[in-house]
């Protein structure tokens, strides 16, 4: 089973690289944006002319929500047109596409978790570009998995988890917003879920929602990171409901995981438990910087 992973230098791609040794029957081929630019269809075609892939896990994306408001064309070029290129090549080569999308395709006006059947209505350019990518996949492919996730963090890359830990070393006070509710999701858990799709030979194609269990504000997320890392007593953590951002963000973007749990029985951990596990792992390996 040959699997192409695009955008492998990002945090999710690195999490998949970390667990690949646990799946000896799977042959992973990792590419970063310099090795494979998905906005250039000929590069994808050239790669497939030399190798056949049973699955393509697309981790390549434009993810800067704030900057997307200032350069929406670039966001759409990567998140929509690049995904269209991948979809067209996957269709031609009979490869199954596993694509990572976002809770930001929703407007946040609900007060109960979003299901896969809820109608998307993005309120920022990032969300609009990701929805456009989803629509290309649905138009072009029959065999695909679109996995929407939320508030990703890990020991890799730039994310809220690492930012809070870093700031706790140099700042005495942090102001964190309470105006958004979602679910922090450990990218390591998402990586395992994605590989489970392949290992379990799942043919229930379509859209899935995956995040850790529970819900939180960004303040709750920061408080739990500091508490579990033993740094909460050393910093003043303050709530604010007036945190200004350039991009409008959904007030509530919790995802329903019932579909994922029903099919895979994947024992998705609670968001607090997943943070605890990562901090324990990182302390033992001294990797968080």
Instruction: Using the structure block, give the residue that is written with the tokens 């138009």.
Output: 139
Q: Is 126 a catalytic residue?
A: yes
CB 62 within 8 A of CB 79: yes
CB 194 within 8 A of CB 15: no
CA nearest 225: which of 181, 157, 278, 147?
A: 278
User: Which candidate in 62, 114, 126, 156 is catalytic?
Assistant: 126
- How wide is the angle at C-alpha 117 spanned by C-alphas 116 and 122, nearest 5°? 75
Burial of residue 121, with CB atoms counted within 10 A of its CB: 0-12 exposed, 13-18 middle, 19 or more buried? middle
CB 212 within 8 A of CB 185: yes
CB 138 within 8 A of CB 91: no
Q: Which helix (H) or strand (E) holds 97?
A: strand 96-102
Q: What is the DSSP letter of 192?
A: H
CB-based contacts of 77, cutoff 8 Å, min separation 6: 39, 62
Beta strand pairing status for 185-186 and 152-153?
Answer: parallel
Alpha-carbon gap, residue 47 to 279, rounded angstroms: 38
Instruction: Using the structure block, give the residue that is written with the tokens 């699997």.
Output: 3
Token reading at 269? 């951990």
Alpha-carbon gap, residue 85 to 163, rounded angstroms: 34
C-alpha distance from residue 239 to each of 65, 159, 247 (Å):
22, 20, 20
Residues noted as catalytic? 126
């Amino acid at each position: 089973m040959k699997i192409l992973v695009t955008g492998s230098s990002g945090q999710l791609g690195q999490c998949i690289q970390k667990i690949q040794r646990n799946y000896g029957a799977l042959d992973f081929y990792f590419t970063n944006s310099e090795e494979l630019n998905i906005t250039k269809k000929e590069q994808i075609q050239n790669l497939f002319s030399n190798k056949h892939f049973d699955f393509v896990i697309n981790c390549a994306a434009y993810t800067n929500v704030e900057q997307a408001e200032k350069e929406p064309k670039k966001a759409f070029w990567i998140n929509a047109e690049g995904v269209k290129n991948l979809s067209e090549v996957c269709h031609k080569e009979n490869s199954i596409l596993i694509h990572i999308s976002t809770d930001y395709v929703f407007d946040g006006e609900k007060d109960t978790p979003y299901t896969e059947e809820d109608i998307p209505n993005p309120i920022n350019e990032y969300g609009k570009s990701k929805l456009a990518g989803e629509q290309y996949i649905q138009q072009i492919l029959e065999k695909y998995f679109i996995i929407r996730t939320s508030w990703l963090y890990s020991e890799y890359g730039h994310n809220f988890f690492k930012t809070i830990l870093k700031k706790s070393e140099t700042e005495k006070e942090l102001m964190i917003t309470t105006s958004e509710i979602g679910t922090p999701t450990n990218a390591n858990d998402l990586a395992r879920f994605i590989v489970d799709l392949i290992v379990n030979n799942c043919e229930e194609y379509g859209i899935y929602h995956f995040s850790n269990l529970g819900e939180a504000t960004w303040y709750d997320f920061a408080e739990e990171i500091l508490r579990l890392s033993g740094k909460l007593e050393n910093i003043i953590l303050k709530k604010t409901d007036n945190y200004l951002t350039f991009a409008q963000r959904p007030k509530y973007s919790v995802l329903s995981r019932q579909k994922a749990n029903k099919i895979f029985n994947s024992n998705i951990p609670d968001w607090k438990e997943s943070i605890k596990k990562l901090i324990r792992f990182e302390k033992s390996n001294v990797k968080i910087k």
